[in-house]
Copies of this chain bind each other. A is one copy, B any other.
Amino acid sequence: MKIGLDVGGTKTDAVAVDDAGAIVGRVRLATGWGPEAVTATVIDAVRALTTHAGVDATSIRSIGIGIPGQVEPGTAKVVHAVNLGVEELDLAAAVEPTLGVPVRAENDVKAAAFGAYALHGGSGSMAYLNLGTGIAAGIVADGELWRGARGTAGEVGHISVDPNGPLCRCGQRGCIEALAGGGAIAERWDRPSVLPVQDVFDAADAGDLFAQELRIGLARGVAAAVRILVLTADVDSVVIGGGLTALGDRLMADVAAELAASAAASPFMLSLQLEQRVELLPAGSAAAALGAALIGAARDPEGVLSRG
């Protein structure tokens, strides 16, 4: 049995995956803050799979952990997981003595990309576009994750697509993340809310002009990211995941309208058939935890999933 964890800023999603690649158990629990609490969360999640999801502890062969930070390839060494209060943490050193199983970590977007690719059939090429507080993508082709040379592969969020666009927290103007990142939209909307982007959509429906501007910007940013991924890496499909996918069809309809508008203006864009190549991951998908499980079980300590 392979265990996969998606350690998010608020919740940790854990799955057990059998030899055929099927998810046979799943639990979710709150994520702790700081290196010690994150370590405890990982241990608790694995134990919860055995106590609450019927996973035989002796059958566990590997643990893979997706985490929002930079991970040294082929290891479980995490740095700059700022949303978890973790500056530096070797998850293998922290949890292997207790759990007695090899542990490997991966950046959460890369893990989700790998999991989405497996869910998507596991062949051809795919980009996973994560729409959350920030925006980033992972590219998988022929079963391999494109890692890139210096850790910025898929960082499409900080590509500027409008020199007069909103200021991005990175310092540039008109970045895709400044237009379409959940964090940037919430900041510009600037009203107390649990689900600010959903509020923006509701307010836009009710006729609020600023909300409509923000909503159009979101769709433009996502459509730009899709075009960039297809025109640079020429992936077969772009699968969208992350927190903003809770908006479901409301989000997809806006993005499809943006893609249709550029296809109407440009025979070249029309020929790309982008609308047919974009999909939304179902809400509650276990893609990230599944991807972490697959990466955790990969035999080659570094090479299998690396490229670039």
Contact = CB atoms under 8 A, between A and B. Distances in A.
Interface of A: 124-125, 137, 139, 141-142, 146-156, 158-164, 168, 170-172, 220, 224, 227-236, 262, 265-269, 272, 307-308
A124 B232 CA distance: 18
Given A168-B266, A232-B232, A235-B308, 8 more contacts: A139-B233, A141-B308, A146-B234, A150-B234, A156-B232, A160-B161, A163-B220, A234-B308
A231 B262 contact: no
B269 A158 contact: yes
Nearest to A157: B231
Contact of A234 (B148, B162, B171, B266): B148
A141 B307 contact: yes
Residue with the highest number of chain B CB atoms closer than 10 Å, among A229, A262, A267:
A262
A307 B152 contact: no
Contacts of A232: 137, 139, 153-156, 159, 228-229, 232-233
24 contacts: A124-B149, A125-B148, A139-B232, A139-B233, A146-B234, A147-B234, A148-B233, A148-B234, A148-B235, A152-B230, A152-B231, A153-B232, A158-B268, A159-B228, A159-B231, A162-B163, A163-B220, A164-B164, A170-B266, A170-B268, A170-B269, A171-B267, A233-B233, A234-B308
